[in-house]
Amino acid sequence: MALADFLDKLRSKDKIVDVDMAELEVESGNRLEQLPKWVKKIVALLALVWTIFQIYTGFFGLYPALIQRTATLNFGLVLCFICFKCKKSDREVKFYDWVLVLLSFSILAYIIVTFGTLIKRGGAPNNLDVFFGTTLILLVIEATRRCVGLPLVIVVLAFLLYAFAGPYMPSVIGHRGYGIGRVSSQMFLTGEGIFGTPMAVMTTFVFAFVLFGCFLEATGGAKLFIDLAFAITGRFAGGPAKTAVVASGLLGTISGSSLANVVTTGSFTIPLMKKCGYRGSFAGGVEASASSAGQIMPPVMGAAAFIMAEMTGISYLEICVAATIPAILYYISVFLSVDLEARRTHLKTVPKDEVPPLWGTLKRCIPLLFPIVTLIALLVVGYTPLKAALYATAIMVVSSFFGKETMLTWRGFYEALTKSAHNSVSVCVACAVCGIVTGVITLTGLGLKLSDLILRASGGDMLNTLLLTMVASIILGMGLPTTAKYIVLAAIAAPAIVKLGVPVVGAHLFILYFGVIAEVTPPVALTSYAGAAIAKAPGVETALQGLKISIGAFFIPFMFCYYPSLLLLDTTLTGMIMGLFSSFVGVICLSAASIGYFFGSLTIWQRLLMFFGTAMVIHPALATDVIGAAIILATVVFQKYRCSKNNPMRR
């Protein structure tokens, strides 16, 4: 089969993404496609009402915080209990699922009916408050078990146990202990529990950007961005893999979802990479690595970035600006790994006549690029992320009619609305359960205690503190969603990092980076396993390849903590030059050492020397920089000499 025919076949497979995502949903317990038609109609109606509610309140004003957040959580819980199984064998909605649905509605009704008196009672809950508060905690935990996973349930139960067992804990983390009434009222009636910052962000920012992403998908944005990426990179060595990097970067700026990114771009790029000679495991690893960075690539960085803005008091636009250079460095690192692998294995390039023309492809993308530019412009001029996302979505709907490929049909419009709700369920539940964790931390003062412990364990040394935080981030990130992991460590580890002089946004981005890299870190690497499923390659091998390709993500966070100029903070010309130079040298050397190729193949000891030299330049001291640079330079010169000696034609 000619490559051009192969490309056309891939582009025509509209169902490949749906099939892969459906398989992932079944494995995660989502039974939506197995439900009877009448239940599907109920689900569709609930999803549509939820989305319309969010759009209406976004445009015309939010209800009081408690009512708005309760309504949002109520829709998320109801859809979770209907669509996600209690047990693996549950193919239909059982009676106990309907009981949980009714309990969820009863909590919303209770809040609405008693809202006036709830405000007046303040910190004096009655028995009904305690009952409904306890019920809500149990509902959130059960919903978490169904659609997020058992690891997060274990974490939240441990925090709740800590709230009750304070007097029996070691003195360094002990507290006086709290009863069920105090804990339930903290979670139910205050802004520091279930309806705290994470749910506030879910109610406003997150849903609006999920809506934006769903409409982008409905108008064919994923396909056009892949075509644009292929037009840009297809002519180079290893072009299909570079297409995966660029396409995932383009989609990552909007979706903010690693898994959605993998199954969207990977359904095209992974088969194409294999067709051009890449191993299946490497192809899946490339896609997983590039897609994971969607959560650190502005202008949309996923739910964690919105929560970061609320927790730190730093505007979302400032966070996006600060994250730009590190995100670009990460993609340069992945791009270099792909390029070096292509050169190491002598992969063929795609014939020029089979690569789509750049200008023609760019013109086809204009109807979808305009809403993205609008989104960024609105954020820059001072619109809230909520308003910016909603206005950009409205403009996308209108601009879609200016292109034949992007024209939005009534069916596509309806599916985008309902899919927005379905895609928001897991995030909504995760935000609610994280509210329980932050509520316990606030109630008991655990955050400050653990922050002090980290400082003691590290001896007050910044590098040791960063290393401890990195390990904690990766371990938690293996079992928790990025958003949940970020919220936990932002309350515990970020204060310790800030005390050592790292800017607030740098400390929080450090935690976010390692939470993202945990998604491609074995043994739990969901994005890598999704890539492996599409590539039909071994999951563990694909995860190891993804980890190898993502090696730059272990280096970049340390660099921006030591060089705040990389975050465009406290920028001086000298600091910016030193930071960028050290970072570029670091990502180049790490990519080469990881792949095992630079001018030619690297031996084991050469790779180890490059790793060691890169580690030395992380710390901004003259001695370590000189030693690290000398080691790297000596290794590169020696390798160049050996390659030239072995191959005189390359002199």
Question: What's the per-residue H, E or C state across 273-284?
Answer: HHHCCCCHHHHH
Residue 267 has pLDDT above 80, yes or no: no
Highest mean predicted confidence (pLDDT) among 246-255, 267-276, 289-298, 313-322: 313-322
Predicted pLDDT at 638: 83
Distance between CA 291 and CA 266 in Å, rounded? 9
pLDDT band at 281 (very low <50, low <70, confident <90, very high): confident
Q: pLDDT-derived band of residue 528, with 50, 70 and 90 as boundaries? A: confident
- What single letter denotes the amino acid at residue 5? D
- What's the alpha-carbon Rg for the chain, to the nearest Å? 25
Taking all residues of the chain, what is their mean pLDDT, rounded to a whole number?
Answer: 82
Of 44-58, 110-124, 246-260, 334-348, which gets the smallest average pLDDT? Answer: 246-260
Percent of the chain residues past pLDDT 70, beyond the cut:
89
Kindly write down the DSSP assignment for every residue of 432-455, as one continuous string. HHHHHHHHHHHHHTHHHHHHHHHH
Confidence of residue 271 (pLDDT cuts 50, 70, 90): confident
Longest dimension (CA), the chain: 86
Tell me, what's the pLDDT at 26?
Answer: 43
How far apart CA 504 and CA 106 sit, in angstroms, is 41
Which 8-state DSSP code applies to residue 300? -
Between residues 644 and 528, which one has the greater pLDDT? Answer: 528
pLDDT at 421: 92
pLDDT band, residue 10 (cuts 50/70/90): very low
pTM here?
0.81
pLDDT at 440 over 50: yes
Which residues contact residue 129 at a Cβ distance below 8 angstroms, ignoring those fewer than 6 apart?
118, 121, 184, 185, 188, 189
pLDDT tens per residue, range 442-475: 888 888 788 888 888 888 888 889 888 888 887 7
Summarize the confidence of residues 410-416 as an average pLDDT.
92
- What's the pLDDT at 523? 65
Confidence of residue 352 (pLDDT cuts 50, 70, 90): confident
pLDDT of residue 17: 42
| Mean pLDDT (whole number) for 187-194 | 87
Rounded distance between C-alpha atoms, residue 467 and residue 489, angstroms: 14
Q: In the prediction, which pLDDT does 457 show?
A: 85
SS3 of the chain: helix, strand, coil, percent, to 5: 80, 0, 20
Residues 387, 22: Cα–Cα separation, whole Å: 32
* Structure-model confidence comparison of residues 92 and 650, the more confident one: 92
Query: Helices marked H in 597-646 — which ranges?
Result: 604-618, 622-646
Do residues 118 and 190 make contact, with C-beta atoms less than 8 angstroms apart? no
The lowest-confidence range among 39-43, 71-75, 476-480 is 476-480
C-beta separation of 528 from 539 below 8 A: yes
Where does the pLDDT of residue 259 fall: very low under 50, low under 70, confident under 90, or very high at 90 and above? low
**Structure confidence at residue 348 (pLDDT):** 65
Q: What is the pLDDT of residue 189?
A: 85
Query: What distance in Å separates the CA atoms of residue 326 and residue 342, rounded to the nearest whole number?
Result: 24
Say how far apart CA 447 and CA 494 lie, in whole Å.
9
Provide the pLDDT for residue 111. Answer: 92
Q: What are phi and psi of 404, to 5 degrees?
A: -65, -40
Closest CA to 632 of 604, 651, 607, 599: 607
Which of 55, 406, 19 lies closest to 219, judged by CA? Answer: 406
For residue 35, pLDDT over 70 is answered with: yes
The yes-or-no verdict on residue 45 having pLDDT over 90 is: yes
What amino acid is encoded at 336 in this protein? L
> Measuring CA to CA, which residue among 513, 545, 554 is closest to residue 527?
545
pLDDT (tens digit per residue) in 141-177: 999 998 888 888 998 999 999 999 989 888 888 888 8
Given a cut of 90, whether residue 98 has pLDDT beyond it is yes
Could you report the per-residue pLDDT of 108-130, keeping only the tens digit for each?
Answer: 999 999 888 877 766 678 889 89
